[in-house]
Amino acid sequence: MSLVAPSSAPADAFHGTTIVTVRKGRQVVVAGDGQVSFGNTVIKAGANKVRRLRADILCGFAGATADAFTLMERLEEKLERHPSQLKRACVELAKDWRTDRFLRRLEAMMVVCDQDETLLLTGVGDVLEPEDGIAGIGSGGAYALAAARALHDVEAMDAEAIARRAMAIAADICIYTNPNVVLEKLDLS
C-alpha cells in the first residue's frame, strides 16, 4: 500500500514538502524537509513541518501550513478528550475533517505516531495504518517511502538513519524537497 497524496487531492496541494516516518526496533521517527515553495519559487529553506504534539506523540504535515496548524490544534483537542487513544482521536478528527464545512476545505495530510501506532490522515476521511510502520507524504513522499522500505532491512541502520537517508534520496529526486531535515523521534519502551 503506497501512502501518498490521494487522487482526490488537488494536484498542487502538496508541493514543497516531504515527510517520512519510520518505525524500527525501539524507535519511531518522523522527518521532514525544510523547503516551502510557492509555484516555482523557494520561499523558505528551513521550515519545520515536524512537531511533537505531546511528549509521546509526533506529527508531520504536508500541504498548506495554516491548514496543517488548524488540524494539529483540532487533533490536540481530540487527544484531550480521548487521552491515550491516538487512533480514536485521529478517527474523530477525520470524521470532522470530512464533514465540517470549514474543515473539509483544508488542504493538508498528516502522519501521526505514538509508542504503538503510525497513522496517516487525509481530508477525504482516511485514517490509514501502514503495515510496516513506514509512511511517506507530500511531493517527495513516494521517493522517501520507497527508499525507507529498501533500507529497512539493513541491520546496521536504525530508524533515524533510515529516515535521514530516505530524506536525502527524496531531496535528490524531488525539486520541491531540500536536504534541510527536521527530525523528531520517540524511543519505544
Residues with catalytic roles: 17
Structural domain spans, the chain: 18-182
State the pTM of this model: 0.88
User: In this structure, which topology does domain 18-182 adopt according to CATH?
Assistant: Glutamine Phosphoribosylpyrophosphate, subunit 1, domain 1 (3.60.20)
pLDDT 10s digit of each residue in the chain, 189 long? 434 444 444 444 445 689 999 999 999 999 999 998 888 888 889 989 999 998 999 999 988 777 878 888 989 999 999 989 999 999 998 888 878 777 767 778 899 999 999 999 987 888 999 999 999 999 999 999 999 999 999 999 999 999 999 999 999 999 999 999 999 999 987
Q: Which residues face 46 on adjacent strands?
A: none
One DSSP character per residue, 114-177 reads: -SS-EEEE-TTS-EE--TTS-EEEETTHHHHHHHHHHHTT-TT--HHHHHHHHHHHHHHH-TT-
| Spatial CA neighbour of 123 closest among 142, 137, 103, 148 | 103
pLDDT for residue 67: 80
